[in-house]
Amino acid sequence: MITVESLTRAYGGFTAVDDVSFIARPGRVTGFLGPNGAGKSTTMRVMVGLTEPTSGRATILGRRFAELPNPAREVGVLLDASAQHAGRTGREILRIAALTMGLPSTRVDEMLALVGLTEEEAGRRVRHYSLGMRQRLGIATALLGDPEVLILDEPANGLDPAGIRWMRDLLRGFADDGGTVLLSSHLLHEIEVIADDLVVIGHGRIVAEGTKDALLASGETLVRADDLAALARALDAVGLEATAAGDALLVAAEPADVGRTAYAAGIAVTELRAADGARLEEMFLELTASTQRDGLGNDLADHSDEGQAA
Amino acid sequence: MSTLTLDPTVATQARPPRAEPAPIPFRRVLLVELRKMFDTRSGFWLMASIVVASVIATALTVLLGDRETLSFDSFAAAVGSPMSIVLPIIGVLAVTSEWSQRTALTTFTLVPSRPRVIGAKAVNVLAIGALSMLVALAIGALGNLVTAAITGNEAVWDITAGTFSQIVLANELGMMLGFALGLLLRSSPAAVVGYFVVNLVLPGLSSALASSQQWWAENAGWFDLNATRFLLFDSTLTTQEWTQLAITSGLWIVLPLAIGLRLVLRSEVK
């Protein structure tokens, strides 16, 4: 479990993180979203003690990170896969981490196998690694100590589609085993698929927080009928607002109410269901609209391009 | 802030509580930091250069020196000069490589206590300094024996344990100066340049000043670290000179070390 309480980090007059509070719970994947420069990475650095907060605090498993006796055995961290000595081999980087944690070197081989780095690749110097390989190595380092909590900043960056799928399954399994996962990403689709809970941040402040289902629920009902006009009149008669959406109606009401109204009016309904929730992308843009750097949409397109192409 | 409270029933079972891991002992941090000084090509060759430079300096002394007059002291001086350049660079890079290669991010995530990491680095740097001097001196001793074998004269062993300890101390001070500049500047090129400015440029300025300023000529020892540190290599220091060494070491080494440490403890690691 990760608890962030009224966390603020100011740089001179600029407040990068402004009174941020949220909880990432065990057994769940918490997605941490926000435009560039919204304060995601700063918040994550404060969590692991690399940046001092101006006020407020972050605790992991009930303690400040610096108070954990052997932090990597409890918290797996991946903040920047490229922050490694270019002249070290992948295997040596894992060996150093294992040595620090007090783990046998067999654990290094297990992790290399888990993240799919071959014997030959592990012996290569990191300067010759692709971003995807660095990312895999970073995930191996994070998982090395068999932690209970994972803090990952943009872990999907640079992974190919198979790699993204692999990581999604890995994180899902980790959370299903009772682990806590906090991950930030610009790949909104990835977050939408994997996250249970969402924390959306803009200009250093939390703009939305909750379960993905609750945040994305639309509260509308989609209904189709052969005689759509009659159905619209019937709904209007009982005071339910209906708008045409192609060959269907969107009604601001529960499916049960819509169904009963149609039944009472003697209209055969051909499809009746809760309307599709807002896509995460739309919600993200709407929530962070005032904090977007570029014109609405451009920024998002940039981000997803970045993620896909990298 | 629109907070949607989580339904408590959706939270799945947390893992059963686990035993708390044992704290990381300091000797492990020491070992890891030592390993990090050798496990890259550049690190390895920097360490190897201690042996290589000593061998070259010794060989040149045997080949080019006036063999009839060579003594152990000649070889100590010969191996000493490359050491006085290589060792401080080791001191600088032990710190700055964490920042120039951005490994500080991983290092301080694995061991959040920055004083422990910096402390382990300092201990390693001092140990490497002492060991390097022993290795260099052993190579020099070999050169002395080879010279004696060539000339047929008895080898002259004119370095006492006291003199040798002074030379080691001078080099350790040089390493710590490099280490302090590394902490202060956290950039390899800046700290290396800084070291050579302090060690090669400032002595020139100091003596230029001394030639025109009588007062400085008499009192430079109280301010200029090199004025007394260089004495360690070839003379017996008076009590006053030892005091000057202690004061200037405080000014040039301990003070930057303290400021640098404070900066490292407070700085944001990115």
A256-304 tens-digit pLDDT: 889 999 999 999 999 998 887 667 788 788 777 776 666 554 444 444 4
- What's the pLDDT score for residue B17? 74
What is the SS3 assignment for B154?
A: coil
pLDDT of residue A292: 64
User: Domain ranges in chain A?
Assistant: 2-74+147-215, 218-274
Is residue B82 scored above 60 in pLDDT?
A: yes
What was the pLDDT predicted at B14? 52
Q: Please say if the pLDDT value at position A54 is more than 60.
A: yes
In a domain, B245, yes or no: yes
CB-nearest to B4 from A50, A72, A211 is: A211
Half-sphere exposure of residue A46: CA atoms within 13 angstroms, side-chain side: 28
Q: What is the mean pLDDT of residues A36-53?
A: 93
Q: Evaluate if residue A101 carries a pLDDT over 90.
A: yes
Residue A208: both structure tokens together:
């939305």
In sequence order, what are the residues at sequence separation of 6 or more whose Cβ sits closer than 8 angstroms to the Cβ of residue B2? A207, A208, A209, A210
Across the interface, whether the CB atoms of A100 and B111 are under 8 A apart is answered yes
User: Pairing between strand A221-225 and A205-211?
Assistant: unpaired
pLDDT band at A120 (very low <50, low <70, confident <90, very high): very high
Query: Which residues of chain B make contact with A70, given a CB cutoff of 8 A?
Result: 21-24
pLDDT band at A305 (very low <50, low <70, confident <90, very high): very low
Q: What confidence score (pLDDT) does residue A142 get?
A: 97
Residues of B in contact with A101 (CB under 8 A): 24, 110
Higher per-residue confidence, B176 vs B238: B176
B4 interaction partners in chain A (CB closer than 8 Å): 209-211, 214-215
Q: What percent of chain B has pLDDT over 70?
A: 94
CB–CB of B7 and A26 under 8 A?
Answer: no
Select the more confidently predicted residue: B214 or B176: B176
pLDDT band at B265 (very low <50, low <70, confident <90, very high): very high
Q: Is there a contact between A102 and B42 if contact means CB atoms under 8 Å apart?
A: no
User: Chain B: residue nearest A67 by CA?
Assistant: B112
Where do we find the tokens 């301010």? B223
Residue A310 confidence (pLDDT): 32
ipTM of the complex: 0.86
How does pLDDT run across B44-74, given as a tens digit for each residue? 999 999 999 999 999 999 999 888 899 998 9
Q: State which amino acid sits at residue B157.
A: W
Using an 8 Å Cβ cutoff, are A4 and A204 in contact? no
Beta-carbon separation of A69 and B22 below 8 A: yes
Q: How confident is the model at residue B9 (pLDDT cuts 50, 70, 90)?
A: very low
For residue B3, being part of any structural domain is answered with no
Q: Which helix (H) or strand (E) holds B228?
A: helix B225-229
Cβ atoms within 10 Å, residue A74: 20
Distance from CA of B220 to the nearest CA of A (A): 41
Q: How far apart are CA B114 and CA B104, in angstroms?
A: 10
Asked whether residue B133 is domain-assigned, the answer is yes
Instruction: Tell me what the pLDDT averaged over chain B comes to.
Output: 89
From 3.40.50.970, 2.40.30.10, 3.40.50.300, 3.30.70.3040, which CATH number describes the A2-74+147-215 domain? 3.40.50.300
Q: Who has greater pLDDT, A188 or B248?
A: B248
* B106–chain A nearest CA distance, Å: 8
Q: Residue A103: pLDDT above 70?
A: yes
Both tokens assigned to B32: 């890891």
pLDDT in tens, A147-180: 999 999 999 888 999 999 999 999 999 999 999 9
Report whether pLDDT(B177) > 90.
yes
Which residues in chain A have Cβ-Cβ distances shorter than 8 Å to B42?
87
Please tell me the distance from the alpha carbon of residue B181 to that of residue B197, in angstroms, as a whole number.
11
**Nearest-CA neighbor of B130 among B161, B162, B165?**
B165
- Check B18 against A148: CB less than 8 A apart: yes
Gap between the Cα atoms of A168 and B198, Å rounded: 54
Nearest to A197 by CA among A71, A80, A55, A29: A29
Q: Which of B182, B79, B108, B9 minimizes the C-alpha distance to A45? A: B108
- Token representation of residue A102: 């007090």
| Residues whose CB is less than 8 angstroms from the CB of residue B71 and which lie 6 or more positions away in sequence, other chains included | B144, B155, B156, B157, B158
Which among B21, B106, B113 is the nearest to A84, CB-wise? B106
- Check whether B135 has a pLDDT greater than 90: yes
Which range has the worst mean pLDDT, A32-46, B155-169, B207-221? Answer: B207-221
The residue to which tokens 């295997």 are assigned: A91
The alpha carbons of chain A give a radius of gyration, in whole angstroms, of: 23
A180-184 and A29-33 strand pairing: parallel
Q: Which residues of B touch A88 (CB under 8 A)?
A: 39-40
pLDDT in tens, B198-209: 888 888 888 888
Q: Which residue of A has its CA nearest to B97?
A: A85
Whether A84 and B13 lie within 8 Å, measured CB to CB: no
Smallest CA–CA distance from A74 into chain B, residue: B21
| DSSP H stretches of helix in chain A | 40-47, 90-101, 106-115, 119-122, 131-144, 161-176, 188-194, 212-216, 228-237, 255-264, 280-287, 298-309
Long-range contacts of B64-71 (CB under 8 A, 24+ apart): B65/B147, B67/B147, B67/B150, B67/B151, B68/B151, B68/B153, B70/B144, B70/B147, B70/B156, B71/B144, B71/B155, B71/B156, B71/B157, B71/B158
- Tell whether the model's pLDDT for residue A242 goes beyond 70: yes
Rounded to 5 degrees, φ, ψ at A217 are -65, 140
Predicted confidence band of residue A191 (pLDDT cuts 50, 70, 90): confident
Give residues with Cβ within 8 angstroms of A54, minimum separation 6. A8, A9, A10
- CATH architecture of structural domain A218-274: 2-Layer Sandwich (3.30)
**What does the alpha-carbon distance between residue B239 and residue B237 come to, in Å, rounded to a whole number?**
7
- Report how many domains make up chain B: 1
Average pLDDT over residues A113-117: 95
Residues of B in contact with A49 (CB under 8 A): 108-109, 112
- Helix crossing, B114-151 with B41-64: angle to 10°? 20
Please check whether residue B251 lies inside any domain of the structure: yes
Task: Give A68's contacts in chain B (Cβ within 8 Å).
Answer: 112
End-to-end CA distance of chain B: 29
CA separation for the pair B161, B72 (Å, rounded): 12
Do A2-74+147-215 and A218-274 show the same overall fold? no
Mutate to test the interface with B, among A96, A211, A288 (most CBs of B within 10 A): A96
Please give the backbone phi and psi of residue A78, each rounded to the nearest 5 degrees, phi first: -135, 105
For B257, the domain range is: 24-265
Instruction: Report, as an integer, the average pLDDT of B238-262.
Output: 92
Neighbours of B56 (CB within 10 A): 15
Residue in A48, A205, A215 nearest the CB of B109: A48
- Going across the sheet that includes A197-202, the strands are A75-78, A149-153, A180-184, A29-33, A197-202, A205-211
| Separation between Cα atoms, residue B46 and residue B88, nearest integer Å | 11
Task: Tell me: pLDDT of B8 over 50.
Answer: no
